[in-house]
Every structure is written in structure tokens, then in C-alpha cells.
Amino acid sequence: MKVAVIGARGQLGTDLVKVFGPDVCAALTHQDIEVTDRDSVTAVLATHRPDVVINTAAFHQVDACEDDPEKAWRVNALGARNVAAAAAELGAACIYISTDYVFDGEKGAPYSEDDPPRPLNTYGITKLAGEHYTMLCPRYYVARVASLFGAAGASGKGGNFVETMVKKARAGEPVRVIDDVFMSPTYTADAARLIRYIVTEGLPSGTYHVTNGGVCSWYEFAAAIFRLLGLRVDLASIKSASLAQKAKRPRCSALTSSRLQDAGIRPWEEALEAYLREKGHLAGA
């Protein structure tokens, strides 16, 4: 089996390359392939002839998507269509990395794969369109992730939430974090492992929620980081309405999976501790 990972230097893409291994994985960066260019996608994938294509490419800066909806559509929707079409021509499976932001956050409980999407912002709308375009490939998987943190850091965002919290705490800065938005923090190493599980177990085409288990607010997540590191921080909660954000966010976009119960999903607290060890913030193996 040969796997092509598009967006191989991103936070999730880096861990996907690790879990599949260099012997079977073609690691494709933005310099190697341009998802918005159908000819580029077709030519590059035809050269590598993968059995599985994992498309992590995305314009995921949520507020920036409101400023440039055309770019968001080109990358998140039409890019997905181009990748799915090329994969179909090769007889390959296509995996599209989507988001919890396809939901409106009004359910009051974690969303499962069977819940109907209702995005609130341009990012969520274009990602949902990308999901539907991916379904044009006969062998497809939509893998929804959420609130990612990984050793490579987020492409285009500079680091991730955990690293931002650690940096502020160690600089002695006061930390203010919203407490009225809830999500499922997800370690990219775990998300990559779950995607590999989907592929190697030959699970049926469909949509899968690929997150760590559990729900918390961003404030609770920050508090857990500081607690694990033993840091004393001037931490206080604020409300999301106090932030100047162009895009409307779902109040609770936590995800749960009804289709990966046998895959060994671990709680986000354990995943966070593993991440902090990987990054060298915590001693021990």
C-alpha cells in the first residue's frame, strides 16, 4: 500500500507521515502540489500512483476566510474536488480532513457522525462543500478533526494553543481565556493513528469523527496545561463576546465517534500529557 499525504508539513500531515512511515508514504508539501490547480493535482498523483490519498490542505484561518471567501472556496472546496477526481481516476481511496466547524454548536452535546451539519461561517461552509466533493470519489473518507495540537505546530498560524499558553505562562504574562466555548482538544499524533486505523482496517467509506475523547472549554484546557506543568499563572476566564472575531464560532462543537469505538480513543487529558512529554515540557518517557 502506498499513501500520499497532501500537506505533509502541517501539524496533522507531519504525524500522518510518521505513522504510515517513509517506506509507504509520499510526503507532498505545498511546493510539490497545488490543490487549487487540477492539472497539478492530476500530474503529481499520477506520478506517485498512491492507493490512498490523504488531503490535509486547507485554508483554516477562520477569520481570514471571512475576508477572503473566494480563496476559502478554492482551497477547501474546489481543492477537495480536484483531489477526489484525481484519486478516482487512479482507483485510490480519498481521505478529506474536515472540521468540527461544520456544526452550529447548538446541540448541547457532542456531535456524532450522524448529526446533520449546519455551519455558521465561511470556513465551515467551504469545508462542508469539500466533504461533499470528496464523496464523488467511489472510495472516500471524511475525517473530521477538532482543536488540533501537534509537535509540528499549525501551518499558517504559528504554533498552537498549547504552545501559546506555555509561552505566556513562562514569560509571567497574565492569561485570559474564554470559558463559554466548548470543544474536543485533539492531539495530532492520535488523530493520525486513528486515520491509519481506518485505512488498515479497511473500514467502509463514510464520515468519521477523529478526535480525542471528552469535552472542555478553552479555559479548562488552559488550566489543565498549567496544572500538568506545575505552573502558577495569573489565569482568568473571559467571555467570547469580548473578543473581536469576524467569524461566528459554534458554542459547543465537541465531537464523538459512534464508528471508532474499537480504535482505542484516549481522553484528551491523557493526550495532552503525552504531547507535553513529546515537546519536552514534561520529563519522562
Catalytic residues: 123
State how far the alpha carbon of 114 is from the alpha carbons of 173, 207, 255, in Å. 42, 9, 11
State how far the alpha carbon of 161 is from the alpha carbons of 51, 75, 128, 154, 225, in Å. 34, 24, 24, 9, 10
Q: How many residues does the chain have?
A: 285
CA dihedral 277, 263, 257, 94 (to 10 degrees): 100
How far apart (Å, rounded) are the C-alpha atoms in residues 56 and 79?
10
The rounded radius of gyration (Å) of the Cα atoms in the chain is: 18
What is the torsional sign of CA 265, 217, 123, 155? negative
How far apart (Å, rounded) are the C-alpha atoms in residues 183 and 104?
12
